Structure 1
Amino acid sequence: MTRALVVIDVQESFRAGPLWETISRPKIAHQVDRLVRLARQAGDTVVWVLHSEPGSGGVFDPALGHVRLLEELHREEGEPLVHKTSHNAFTTTNLQQLLTERGIRELVVCGIRTEQCVETTTRVASDLGYRVTFVTDATATNPIAHRDAPAGQSVAELLADPRTLSAEEIVRRTEYALAGRFATIATVDALEAAAGSRA
């Protein structure tokens, strides 16, 4: 097949961080797993991407052991795993080479965070000529503090601040920014239905 599912940063680093309690989709692993099953059934390539910040001392520092898939997810032998250190999955990895070698021209993307690494990867992929499907309900994100909010806000302060952008609003804005320009917006249900109609 010429299509790949790219699973971006669905990793324990996020669950180990203080913002996990605010994540928009705590059961994101379930949605991602549905996409992974679809991809495998179709014979598509599944590419796993993990974000890494070596030497940072934070939850993305591989030395702390959180830079691994959420425990509910399982990578099969032969499925590529790439580690990135930039927001998008291309700049600091061999992802483009890997896709080119396999003749892949179409990507389905999902992961954490909706507007950050998943959206940025989608935009870069589109600019590189890939046809991209952005599966919104297989992404997750957190509320974002206002640019003038004090540094070091607690979760309670973040949620109480009326200037905080909600996760729902972030997802909505991301869909508006990507649709018709960089990607087709889809849901897991719609992709499952389409696969069923092709079977």
Structure 2
Amino acid sequence: MDTASQYSSTTTAVLLVDPYNDFLSAGGKLAEMARPVAESVNTVAHMRTVVARARQAGLPIFYVPHHRARPDDLQGWRHPTPYALGAHKHQVFAEGSWGGEWHPDFRPQPGDVIVKEHWGGSGFANTDLDLLLKQHGVSRVIMVGLLANTCIETTARFASELGYHVTLAGRDGRLQPAGHDRRARHQRPDLCACHSHHGGAGRQPERLSEGGFRAAGSAPGSSGRRAPPTRHPPRR
């Protein structure tokens, strides 16, 4: 079966995660933190490529946005996580602010699906993403967006647990099916996608083409050793 038929527009969707100004635009609250890696792997350019070619192929785009901060968000919360506390302190993606608006290159178009905002790392937890995907007949998802080791990884793992076929968009525009390499190696802990933090040598990735999706002739190269995943001690 050719790649284009595997990534059919009737069963495949792109999950575009957190394409906010605060992440992707100069002056954004998190942009400077992400800039060195984002520039080195051409994050925005690759995101544009994946989204544009997916649109050309008729694949639906699902926006998977993080919660837009408000000053009273955590009032009365019993167990806010350090992640939530940090986002609240800095009012990341603040509601009504420029930073909480979509990057100009990734504004929704007619027919795009806007998912309810997620509070943590997963675009599925406490949102309607799973329901919307099922209602649209989607069984394969292509992940692009921010950040690779937080929302991208968590959403991808959650999707896999729910039975979806998950594909991660790579640093060179290739598509890498997740899960066939159990090592799940990270390239950089602060990486803002669009590139895969799952690698593998046993299967050739697919490359996006102007006409849709087609198999690539060779696997992407890599430079330098990748850092192993962070392991946390079990809670007592």
TM-score (norm 1): 0.69
Q: Residues 127-151 of structure 1: CA distance to partner in whole angstroms, max 9, x if unpaired? A: 0000010113289xxxxxxxxxxxx
Gaps of 5+ in 1: 140-166
Per-residue CA deviation, residues 94-135 of structure 1 (Å, 9 max, x unaligned), is 111110001100000011101110011000000000001011
TM-score by length of 2: 0.60
How much has 1:74 moved relative to structure 2?
A: 3.0
Q: Which consecutive unaligned segments of at least 5 residues does structure 2 have?
A: 1-9, 72-87, 174-185, 216-236
| 1:57-80 Cα deviation digits (max 9, x unpaired) | 512221433222212223211201
Measured in 1, the distance between the counterparts of 2:135 and 2:92 equals: 33
- Return the alpha-carbon distance in structure 2 between the equivalents of residues 89 and 185 of structure 1: 28
* Distance in structure 2 (CA, Å) of the matches to 1:40 and 1:119: 23
Structure (1/2) with the larger helix percentage: 1
Q: 2:162 corresponds to which residue?
A: 128
Q: How does 1:166-177 map to 2 (within 5 A)?
A: 168-170=187-189, 174-176=197-199
In structure 2, how many angstroms separate the alpha carbons of the residues matched to 1:93 and 1:124?
Answer: 12
Structure 1 residues 87 and 185: alpha-carbon distance in aligned structure 2, compared to 1, 3 A threshold = farther
In the alignment, structure 1 residue 192 sits paired with structure 2 residue 209: yes
Residue 70 of structure 2 aligns with which residue? 54
Aligned residues: 164
Which of these residues, 60, 68, 79, is aligned with residue 45 of structure 1? Answer: 60
Q: Is the counterpart of residue 72 in structure 1 residue 105 in structure 2?
A: yes
Q: Whole-Å Cα distance in 1 between the matches of residues 16 and 127 of structure 2?
A: 14
1:142 aligns to what? none
Displacement of 1:28 after TM fit? 2.4
In structure 2, the CA distance between the partners of 1:5 and 1:186, relative to structure 1 (3 Å rule), is farther
Report if aligned partners of 1:135, 1:185 keep a CA contact under 8 Å in 2: no
